[in-house]
Amino acid sequence: MAFALLFLRVLVMLVFVWSGWSHTTKSEERAKDIGFSSAFTKLLGTVELLAGLGVGFAVLPHLSSVGLMIIMLGAMYHKAFVWKSGFWGKGSQGWHYDLIFFAINLLVFASAGGRWTVGWAVMRVTGFRWLQNL
């Protein structure tokens, strides 16, 4: 169970860090693709990048996973009501993908990142039990 949750966290980290990096470094181009301003696209990218790292390493896993869930809710809303792409969408551009990542982040939130987290590792080294809650 611990390995499965670690695998999901690393997967989320890879996807969101990659996406966040793209939104941050190519904000003009990405803004046109998603229909937002360049400034908002940079902000979105920064949140994706930091929250993705937070989920992956389970540093502040509750805050990180909630941030990504909010982004996924926004993506689902945008795809369903603005782009009207439907659940599966055309060319797999529907909101099913975003729903899956919402569910994975909900699992990370509910489990506080699982057993293998940075907070747990620091607690094991220092002996300070309160650090496992980072």
Encode pLDDT of 18-73 as tens digits. 999 999 999 999 998 888 999 999 999 999 999 999 999 988 899 999 999 999 99
Question: Helices in 26-80 by DSSP H: which ranges?
Answer: 27-34, 38-57, 61-77
Asked whether residue 76 carries a pLDDT value surpassing 80, the answer given is: yes
pTM for this prediction: 0.86
Question: Which tokens go with 109?
Answer: 């939130």
Asked whether residue 134 carries a pLDDT value surpassing 80, the answer given is: no
Q: Domains in the chain: how many in total?
A: 1
Residue 6's identity, in one-letter code, is: L
Place of tokens 């509750």: 62
pLDDT band, very low/low/confident/very high, at 83 (cuts 50, 70, 90): confident
Q: Which domain holds residue 117?
A: 2-133
Question: 3-class DSSP state for residue 18?
Answer: helix
